Structure 1
Amino acid sequence: MTAVPAAAFRRSAVATAAGPTLDGRLSELLAGKKIVMTGVTGFIGEQVLWKILTELPETAPAVLVRRKGSASARERVIGLVKKKIFTQLREAAGGAEQLVDARIQVIEGDLPNVPELPADLDVVMHCAGDVSFDPPIDQAFTTNVIGTRALMRRMIEAVTDEAGNITKVPHYVHISTAYTAGRRRGAIPEAPHEHSIDYETETRAGLAMRELIEAESRTAEQLTRLRKEAEREHRAAGFLTTAADTERRRKDWVQEKLVEAGTERARSLGWTDVYTFTKALGERVVADLGANLHVSIVRPAIVESSWLHPYPGWIEGFKMAEPLILAYGRGELPEFPASPDSVVDIVPCDHVVNAILAVCATVPEVGRPEYYHVASGARNPLTFRELYDHVRSYFTAHPFDGGERGAAHLPQWQFPGATSVERLLTNSERAHKVAERVLARAPRSERIRKIARDLDRARVRMTFLRRYLGLYNEYAQSELHFVDDNTLRLTRSLHPDDQPIFAFDTAVYDWTTYIEEVHCPSITEPVRRMDAIRRKRGARPTTMKDLSRDTAGSQALAVFDLDGTVMTTNVIETYLWARLPELSKLRQAAEVGAVLRKLPSYIKAERRDRGTFLRAVYRRYQGADLAALEEFVDNEMAPHVLSRLSPDAVRRIRAHRAAGHTTILITGVVRPLTRPLRPLFDVIVAADLATDADGRCTGFLTGPPLVGESRAAWLRHFAALNGIDLSRSFAYADSHSDQPMLAAVGNPVAVSPDVPLMRAARANQWSMAEWRIKPQAFRWTMPK
């Protein structure tokens, strides 16, 4: 008996069975044909349109494009042909608008809301679809099943007369995916997949999931859990901020559960994810509605950058492999749960486009769909181990420039298996949670902010790994072999003159050239360019707006917090400054001891609500003589206060005044302690101590202290009364409790922020500044 190597089964022989072939050049076979396309703004659709306009001059493309915001479908297509690959076509036509008007029919519509299609259509090419592997279940069904059905029905209407007779039989070309095979193993023929799934029933159930999950998200139990999570993070900022974050969490939870529902339903029926599941059901829709039509179904594998056209390495956006390749090059992908000998079935985009157009030129038998796999695994297999070796070889020769840190360290993959990789990731996630709990209790400093930034980067990496491991784990271990006999027969029937420009034989290129010289350079080039721009800019100490160019004048406010922003103090410290000098040495020691004993409860109160914390501290002013306190501040304490001001803050305040802005200090500090700062500010909003008939402090305030959301409310009211434009105004603060105030203006600046505010500033792209303060005296030195 002759031994046959397993790899031999990957090779495909030329099929002997009859099937459509090409009899002539594509430009002749498709001359005079109108091809209605969907998905033209997508990766494959864009290149299909370019290829038609470039190589098929007598073919008329009509594109179905939806409005996007205020941009009409025509405006979006004009924007599309302004891209680089259309340059020669655009210049030859005299401009983007001229090119669209001369060559492209634009149909405004969407899936599944498909408008009437042109009656003179010959081919409908359905390239659109939800290409995310993990869309919400209702979205996947709407796009891939309902959208496909709506398009085919409109196509049939377009070629059916009033008597119900089909005037001509169009060719429907459906772009699917090779992975509609699901969790099967072994050879996958170019044929319908056998299954008994009722797509009508599954579609109704998939759409109903949103209503079910939305209802569950609004139950008392679920809302309580989400609210408590939001309160733990945002309580200091106020109830409205917490409420907004609770609703954000609810919506995120709904999306997460819809994705989870899609994934689990797909896997329960034998598919890897809801994308491949709904694409498989979409194929069944095509077969049912195409009983009286010419039907072809094209199933590409993993589509990546082009081999030759429009130029080597052409790609739009990141597809399946790019994020993983870039993460590896950055040293951020320590392992991957791939089987080293599994085939990763990559095919260049231009091969897919050429195959689609060749299929469009065929005439399949009515009611007998033809299937085409556009894949490389049958005759040019690439294993995950080989892919890893090529990527590592590329980055070894061309590492990312890490600046002062040098080149990134490239991990050495050992392919330990999915279980080991999962264990490594889980342990890292647990360690990260512990670090976050410790960080939450750490005192504020630049070092702590650096640790927080490092933790944030680690969290982003772990989130990335968790998502991609979940999405691609099964693809990385699949044992599918896509038979491509039909596709091979079609490419071999290409006219000799079409071979240079329309070939799609995936055996013609070698992986070393494609990955190391075409694909990796293409996807890393824009990343390297952005890195170079960042290095050229250098590290900037601040991103604040240049006030010398500001023209808002009196229409703008400049609002400053005090403690930690303008001045290196805290409420307890300023209380001791003001209170201790009037006490005897014995009573000073007693007062300091009492404050220290209460310190844990003060800290706990501040974490719950800053207003409660301030009231608790100010109760200690009970019995103090207010007039004497003011006199002491003016005569003795003023130099001590001014020595604690940040020179950076003072310069910024004076710059705002020079620009004509109204400067405002909003602080929880009691008003007497702000008296030395009156020359700097036009308005000072502070806490006012209530007094009795003798002028002695009662330990209470005359009104609630302005903290959290109340500061934002005060600003809006002040602005409305004084004709201020908050969108042109500025605010400066250091604490997460001031997030609402910063969000109320158009130019927020987080100054030496605590970790939660730093994260909010980064998320909202607010300016950040480090204002360093070097007091002339030791921090706990008392005024004399």
Structure 2
Amino acid sequence: MHLPPPLEGRIADLLGGKKIVMTGVTGFIGEQLLWKVLGECPGTTTAVLVRPKGSVTAHQRVAGLLGKKIFKPIVEAAGGVEALMAARVEVIEGDLPNVPDLPRDLDVLLHCAGDVSFDPPIDQAFMTNVIGTKALLTKLREACSDEDGTLVKIPHYVHVSTAYTAGRRRGAIPEAAHVHDVDYEAETVAALAMKDHIEARSRDAGQLTVLRRQAEELHAKAGYLTTSEDTERRRQEWVKNELIAAGTERARSLGWTDVYTFAKALGERVVADLGRDFRVSIHRPAIVESSLRYPYPGWIEGFKMADPIILAYGRGQLPEFPASPDAVIDIIPCDYIVNAILAVCATTPEVGRVEYYHGSSGARNPLTFRGIYEHVRRYFAEHPYTTGQGSTPLATWTFPGPEPIEKLMWVGNLGIKAGNKLLSFAPRSKTTRRWAQQLDKGAKQLEFLTKYFTLYGEYLQSELHFVDDRALALHTSLHPDDKEIFGFDSAAIDWRHYMEEVHIPAITNPVRRLEAARKRRQARAATFKDLKPAEPGTVLAAFDLDGTVMATNVVETYLWARLPELSPARRAAEVARVAAQLPLYLGAERRDRGRFLRSIYRRYAGADLAALEEYVDETLAPQILDRMSPDAIRRIREHRDAGHTTILMTGVIRPLTRPFEGLFDTIVAADLATDASGRCTGFLSGPPMVGESRAAWLHHYATLHGIDLGQSYGYADSHVDLPMLNTVGNPVAVSPDIGLMRAARAKGWSIIEWPAMSPLPRWRMS
């Protein structure tokens, strides 16, 4: 076996006086690599390739990175962030594949950046891991060559890949190049062409029709713009999903698990080809999780592969698991990977001979899925969840294999679809919303399981065995004084200690704190705020009426207003006709709120408008006010006391809004058209104010009166009012229907209940 070049001295001395150019320092492994170099290699300078993000420059991003807790002692010793950057951290603004010129005084190029998602779109995977790698190596050659292109300096290029570039092989995987004859140039061209092909398919009339109808099924009542916005969102999502599927299938057709490992494998081939006259090392980490010791036990950034499963089990969301119990889950702590990579950087490989290293644990200290299950179960038995979703009995996994679990998931999906169909016909109530939330919880759990098992299914049955003899030889060659802070022998890991005392607490404790904080905030959510005084005329508060401010509906208010002027016989006949038409009205309301309102307004034909207004003022007003919610009244008055312009927006006819004139500054209602004698024609004087019409009205009103909609408020109960609520900065869903409840939960809006039937005396509401 070819052994790697040994380390002949301490790492700090071997890297002393050298400049390491690094990519990926804003990522998980890259951040700790930068920390380790700055902290343990005082004679080494760095240059970091970082892209700007929005209005934040690359320099600002690096400064923010160095402001993190782990860098504090290093920053203080250097005299501040800017002093540290001036002395040891050069910032190169750029990205992959748009790589700028690299410093000509570099000695080591450490490429740690890359798309780490297992299921990126195929074009994105190739753009980052293949084209980006080619661009970086091209710039490296330029930096080390003279004006004639002659190489005058031989750099050490260290490439961080993944152990899973081995693909769907089984058995022992050596630390060597993988044998395959895939043409990375041809595959790259095809991957980029796939994006154009799928983008064109997404704009086909047939596909757009399918997507538009899906959007209309949910949003037709809210209006055409809302529907078109959702259609475009669905189109973009469809494109992304098709690109992901194309990448997955292409990878599997050639022997890789997914497009991530496929593109990474081709990236390795790019390195071998373009780095023939460099010193080249490739390090392949397995599943990198939280640090065992450095910078402190449990240091981690974000969730990694195993973490969602651990959390889901603790929450009682995983009754079973489709992994092979004796399959190895090849976990390695982040600090072991960082130490190994820096040891690789300190070697001097032979020019033209690529050195490969595995960063893994499975060869000499295997942790099986059965083993990790026992550690996780033992931890949660001692530290159960008591907040958030509540304590749940821990499941006992029998590892039945994927088929029974897939069948259960299929049945579960059918049940959720049937439940949602039934709920679409259920009357609005707290119980209905509770059922909807339970269905949503189940759907979210199934979505998580489906995605996770689809993404990681093959890894759960993995029979890969990553040989790490060369990595062990490199560790063994460490100077004795370096083995404490730079060691990376995976055989030394005590899995019980690591899993139960370091890693699981590291990922669960922040979640527990977050859930506790969320529970404290639930009493008063973000968009339902305590009101602060504002300059009069600068902030508005828009309120829907039916179902929001008062408990009633358009049909009911029609009967209130219309029946009194009819004879007893005609009243009975009218009630019967309305009852007979209710199914049609409900169908119209489900399809188009404006059409539904027009059908109700037609029934006012022949009514005396003046008599109707008199009847409302003298008789109906107390009944209307009694149906108002005391909470709504208090909130309206709070807005008025704060100097906010209060607006009532409703689909009921204007005579029925007369009792509210003392509460609102402006009332937007349906105006009935009349003939010369003052009799209603059954038509309106303008379109009903529903859906997107309300949003347009608010925008126009705000423009005319100089109102800041971003500071304004909106209150409504129906999904049809989604455009109106989207218009203001502080939207609140009041006793919402299922559609609005789901939208509010997705957007983080407040959801509140305003019970009607006020017990307050009428004089308090008038």
**How would you bin the TM-score normalised by the shorter chain?**
over 0.9
Q: CA deviation at 1:725?
A: 2.0
Q: Could you tell me whether the CA contact under 8 Å between 1:541 and 1:769 is conserved in 2?
A: no
Distance 1:541 1:287, change over 3 A: closer
Q: Could you tell me whether the CA contact under 8 Å between 2:525 and 2:750 is conserved in 1?
A: no
Q: For 1:473, what is the secondary structure of its paired residue?
A: helix
Pair 1:480 & 2:491 matched: no
User: Which residue of 2 is the match for residue 299 of structure 1?
Assistant: 284
User: Which residue of 2 is the match for residue 447 of structure 1?
Assistant: 431
Distance 1:746 1:44, change over 3 A: same
Which of 407, 419, 430 matches 2:414? 430
Q: For 1:36, what is the secondary structure of its paired residue?
A: strand
User: Which residue of 2 is the match for residue 599 of structure 1?
Assistant: 582
Q: Could you tell me whether the CA contact under 8 Å between 1:336 and 1:413 is conserved in 2?
A: yes
Distance 1:480 1:541, change over 3 A: closer
User: Which residue of 1 is the match for residue 247 of structure 2?
Assistant: 262
**Structural mapping, 1:145-294, within 5 Å:** 145-294=130-279
User: Which residue of 1 is the match for residue 327 of structure 2?
Assistant: 342
Pair 1:555 & 2:538 matched: yes
Once the two structures are overlaid, the 10-residue window that deviates more, 303-312 or 742-751, is 742-751
Q: CA deviation at 1:159?
A: 0.6
The CA distance in 2 between the partners of 1:349 and 1:728, in whole Å, is: 45
Q: Deviations over 1:29-78 (max 9, x none)?
A: 11111111100111111111111111111111111111111111111111
Q: Could you tell me whether the CA contact under 8 Å between 2:175 and 2:357 is conserved in 1?
A: yes
Q: CA deviation at 1:535?
A: 4.1
Q: Could you tell me whether the CA contact under 8 Å between 2:315 and 2:390 is conserved in 1?
A: no
Q: Could you tell me whether the CA contact under 8 Å between 1:541 and 1:770 is conserved in 2?
A: no
Q: Could you tell me whether the CA contact under 8 Å between 2:288 and 2:333 is conserved in 1?
A: yes
TM-score, reference length from structure 2:
0.97
The CA distance in 2 between the partners of 1:18 and 1:433, in whole Å, is: 58
Q: CA deviation at 1:239?
A: 0.5
The CA distance in 1 between the partners of 2:520 and 2:731, in whole Å, is: 26
Could you tell me which runs of 5 or more consecutive residues in structure 2 were left unpaired when the two chains were aligned: 761-766
Once the two structures are overlaid, the 10-residue window that deviates more, 609-618 or 726-735, is 726-735
TM-score, reference length from structure 1:
0.95
Distance 1:521 1:776, change over 3 A: closer
Pair 1:492 & 2:490 matched: no
The CA distance in 1 between the partners of 2:677 and 2:520, in whole Å, is: 65
The CA distance in 2 between the partners of 1:583 and 1:775, in whole Å, is: 29
The CA distance in 2 between the partners of 1:447 and 1:437, in whole Å, is: 16
Distance 1:30 1:189, change over 3 A: same
Q: CA deviation at 1:542?
A: 8.3
Which of 36, 43, 61 matches 1:51? 36
Once the two structures are overlaid, the 10-residue window that deviates more, 654-663 or 419-428, is 654-663
Q: For 1:118, what is the secondary structure of its paired residue?
A: coil
User: Which residue of 2 is the match for residue 7 of structure 1?
Assistant: none
User: Which residue of 2 is the match for residue 708 of structure 1?
Assistant: 691
**Structural mapping, 1:89-168, within 5 Å:** 89-168=74-153
Q: CA deviation at 1:397?
A: 0.7
Q: Could you tell me whether the CA contact under 8 Å between 1:394 and 1:516 is conserved in 2?
A: yes
Paired residue type of 1:393: R
User: Which residue of 2 is the match for residue 566 of structure 1?
Assistant: 549
User: Which residue of 2 is the match for residue 407 of structure 1?
Assistant: 391
The CA distance in 2 between the partners of 1:495 and 1:304, in whole Å, is: 26
Q: Could you tell me whether the CA contact under 8 Å between 1:542 and 1:770 is conserved in 2?
A: no
User: Which residue of 2 is the match for residue 545 of structure 1?
Assistant: 529
User: Which residue of 2 is the match for residue 647 of structure 1?
Assistant: 630
Q: Could you tell me whether the CA contact under 8 Å between 2:130 and 2:188 is conserved in 1?
A: yes
How big is the alpha-carbon RMSD for the aligned residues of Structure 1 and Structure 2? 1.4
**Structural mapping, 1:650-689, within 5 Å:** 650-689=633-672
Q: Could you tell me whether the CA contact under 8 Å between 1:123 and 1:360 is conserved in 2?
A: yes
Pair 1:692 & 2:692 matched: no
The CA distance in 1 between the partners of 2:15 and 2:540, in whole Å, is: 65
Q: CA deviation at 1:364?
A: 1.1
User: Which residue of 1 is the match for residue 336 of structure 2?
Assistant: 351
Paired residue type of 1:725: D
Q: CA deviation at 1:541?
A: 7.8
Q: Deviations over 1:265-295 (max 9, x none)?
A: 0001000000000000000000001111111
Q: CA deviation at 1:665?
A: 1.2
The CA distance in 1 between the partners of 2:668 and 2:89, in whole Å, is: 63
Q: CA deviation at 1:408?
A: 2.1
Paired residue type of 1:151: L
Which of 338, 341, 362 matches 2:347? 362
Which of 87, 106, 112 matches 2:72? 87
Paired residue type of 1:235: A
The CA distance in 1 between the partners of 2:746 and 2:586, in whole Å, is: 27
**Structural mapping, 1:631-642, within 5 Å:** 631-642=614-625
Q: Deviations over 1:384-419 (max 9, x none)?
A: 10111111111111111137x852221111101011
The CA distance in 1 between the partners of 2:214 and 2:257, in whole Å, is: 32
User: Which residue of 2 is the match for residue 718 of structure 1?
Assistant: 701
The CA distance in 2 between the partners of 1:527 and 1:408, in whole Å, is: 16
Paired residue type of 1:687: A
Paired residue type of 1:72: T
User: Which residue of 2 is the match for residue 769 of structure 1?
Assistant: 752
Q: For 1:554, what is the secondary structure of its paired residue?
A: coil
User: Which residue of 1 is the match for residue 763 of structure 2?
Assistant: none
- Overall identity of the aligned pairs, in %: 66
Q: For 1:732, what is the secondary structure of its paired residue?
A: strand
Pair 1:508 & 2:492 matched: yes
Pair 1:588 & 2:576 matched: no
Paired residue type of 1:399: P
Q: Could you tell me whether the CA contact under 8 Å between 1:557 and 1:726 is conserved in 2?
A: yes
- Number of matched residues? 760
Q: Deviations over 1:518-554 (max 9, x none)?
A: 111111110121233234456448851212x232432
Q: Could you tell me whether the CA contact under 8 Å between 2:387 and 2:516 is conserved in 1?
A: no
The CA distance in 2 between the partners of 1:650 and 1:542, in whole Å, is: 21
The CA distance in 1 between the partners of 2:525 and 2:458, in whole Å, is: 46
Q: CA deviation at 1:20?
A: 1.0
Distance 1:658 1:178, change over 3 A: same
Paired residue type of 1:727: G
Q: Could you tell me whether the CA contact under 8 Å between 1:336 and 1:469 is conserved in 2?
A: no
The CA distance in 2 between the partners of 1:361 and 1:551, in whole Å, is: 63
User: Which residue of 2 is the match for residue 9 of structure 1?
Assistant: none
Could you tell me which runs of 5 or more consecutive residues in structure 1 were left unpaired when the two chains were aligned: 1-14, 778-784
Q: For 1:162, what is the secondary structure of its paired residue?
A: coil
Once the two structures are overlaid, the 10-residue window that deviates more, 685-694 or 201-210, is 685-694
Pair 1:758 & 2:741 matched: yes
Q: CA deviation at 1:240?
A: 0.5
Q: Deviations over 1:658-697 (max 9, x none)?
A: 1222221111101111111111112111111122222221
The CA distance in 1 between the partners of 2:3 and 2:498, in whole Å, is: 33
The CA distance in 2 between the partners of 1:130 and 1:571, in whole Å, is: 54
Q: CA deviation at 1:18?
A: 3.9
The CA distance in 2 between the partners of 1:103 and 1:262, in whole Å, is: 40
Q: Could you tell me whether the CA contact under 8 Å between 1:562 and 1:666 is conserved in 2?
A: yes
The CA distance in 1 between the partners of 2:39 and 2:510, in whole Å, is: 26
